Amino acid sequence: MNRVVHPIEVESYRRLRARLDTSHFPPLTRAVVERVIHSAADLDYAGDLVLDEADLEKAHAALHAGAPVVVDVEMVGAGITRRETVCRLKDAESGPGLTRSAHAIRLAYEQVGPGALWVIGNAPTALEELLTLDADPALVVGLPVGFVGAVESKAALRESGLPAVSNVSEKGGSAVAAAALNALLYHPTSAEEKL
């Protein structure tokens, strides 16, 4: 992917790296950590994020091979650049014991099946619902925000053993979830690195 980086972004990353040494992180981990920090101007994410380089490598390959990307809300999809996303929130309905966000995840799974990358930045109930499905995800970016259910849903994601990017605190949101996916999207493939 040929991406022109704006001088403001270059300067932002220079300042970020002047304040925080990220050179010890493996390549994809570093890309995700830096892009999340950049999206929120919050250096604390360096110690709050939980991710695994091997999971990121597999997700990076799946993403660049065309695996579908599912988002919980349109705000997350709007933040993911240069890639179509699936969001079924407009089609979803709430019901007894089921939020619209959870129903949207069910609808999305029916549409895309296993192997997708799931990016959840808003609704803990969307992440909780995903964990009940046999989604066999390439990656779950589970960064919902909030004081109710966010910490618990992210802990459940980590306990599930699924390949994931999450964080320990209540922090998260659409911008940081999209940023984590964009980090993988922007990171060159081995073929691009040889150019």
**Active-site residue, selected from the candidate residues 38, 60, 103, 187:** 38
Q: Give the contacts of 144 (CB within 8 A, at least 6 positions apart).
A: 72, 120, 121, 122, 123, 124, 126, 127, 150, 153, 154, 172, 173, 177
- What does the alpha-carbon distance between residue 193 and residue 181 come to, in Å, rounded to a whole number? 19
The SS3 assignment for 78 reads helix
The encoded tokens of residue 49 equal 């994020």
Contact 57, 83 (CB under 8 A): no
64 is catalytic: no
DSSP category for residue 14 = H
CB 19 within 8 A of CB 42: no
The residue type found at 167 is N
Which residues are tagged catalytic? 38
